[in-house]
Amino acid sequence: MNGWKISLAALFAILATGSGMSANTQGWGNSFSAGEARDASQNGRIKPLREVIQSLKREFGGSYLNAELFSKQGGGAEYHIEWVTDDGRKLRLIVDAESGRVTRTTGG
């Protein structure tokens, strides 16, 4: 009976990771660590988050609630930002991390 429990646990673990291949091994869709984001910003590969936030503040008013940096399929990176406007609307913004341009907005 214990052998079945171990085997089923192993099977579920494999299924949960997508046949044993995580997004990390595929090379896209990964969240950057704080150190990786800082290095990319300092090396000029992406705009610093503070610059992106300043630009969004001018465009939308309000402030950010949360921000994460992800790699994009095919290369590059994008910020996923939760934003609240001055009038209380909650937005989800996708911002190209290299150009600082908003590529998608939802909510509001």
pLDDT of residue 2: 43
pTM of the model: 0.70
Residue matched to tokens 């300092």: 42
Nearest by Cα to 76 from 62, 94, 58: 94
pLDDT of residue 70: 94
pLDDT of residue 65: 96
pLDDT of residue 28: 45
CA distance 71 to 31: 7
Res. 87: pLDDT tops 80 = yes
pLDDT in tens, 52-78: 999 999 999 999 999 999 998 888 999
pLDDT of residue 55: 96
On the CB side of 97, CA atoms within 13 Å amount to: 26
Where is pLDDT greater, at 14 or 50? 50
CA distance 54 to 50: 6
